[in-house]
Amino acid sequence: MEKLLKKDYLDFISHTDTLEISGVKLPILKGRLKKNCTPQDFKTERTTMWSFPERGTWATHEYNSKFRGNWAPQVARNLLLLYSKEGDTILDPFVGSGTTVIEAKILGRNGIGVDINRDIALLAYDRIIFKCKPDIEKEGKIKLYIGDARKLDKIKDSSIDFIATHPPYAGIIRYSNEKIPEDLSNITSPNKFVREFIPAIEEFYRVLKPNSYCAVLIGDTRKRRHIVPLGYMVMREFLNVGFMIKEHIIKAQHNMKGTRERWGGTYDFLLIGHEHLFVFRKPEK
Q: What is the pLDDT of residues 156-209, one digit of tens each?
A: 999 999 999 999 877 677 777 667 888 888 888 999 999 999 999 999 999 999
pLDDT for 223 equals 84
Question: Is the CB of residue 42 less than 8 Å from the CB of residue 59?
Answer: no
Question: Is the CB of residue 18 less than 8 Å from the CB of residue 28?
Answer: yes
pLDDT for 68 equals 77
Q: Which residues, other chains included, contact 135 with Cβ-Cβ below 8 Å and sequence gap of 6+?
A: 36, 37, 38
- pLDDT(259) > 60: no
Gap between the Cα atoms of 274 and 232, Å rounded: 13
pLDDT for 258 equals 46
Work out the average pLDDT over 229-242: 97
Percentage above 70 pLDDT, the chain: 92
- pLDDT(6) > 90: yes
- pLDDT(277) > 80: yes
Of 189, 186, 283, 266, nearest to 233 by C-alpha is: 189
CATH assignment, 2-281 = 3.40.50.150
- pLDDT(138) > 90: no
pLDDT tens column, 173-187: 777 766 788 888 888
- pLDDT(242) > 60: yes
Gap between the Cα atoms of 108 and 57, Å rounded: 19
Question: Is the CB of residue 237 less than 8 Å from the CB of residue 194?
Answer: yes
Gap between the Cα atoms of 142 and 127, Å rounded: 11
pLDDT for 264 equals 59
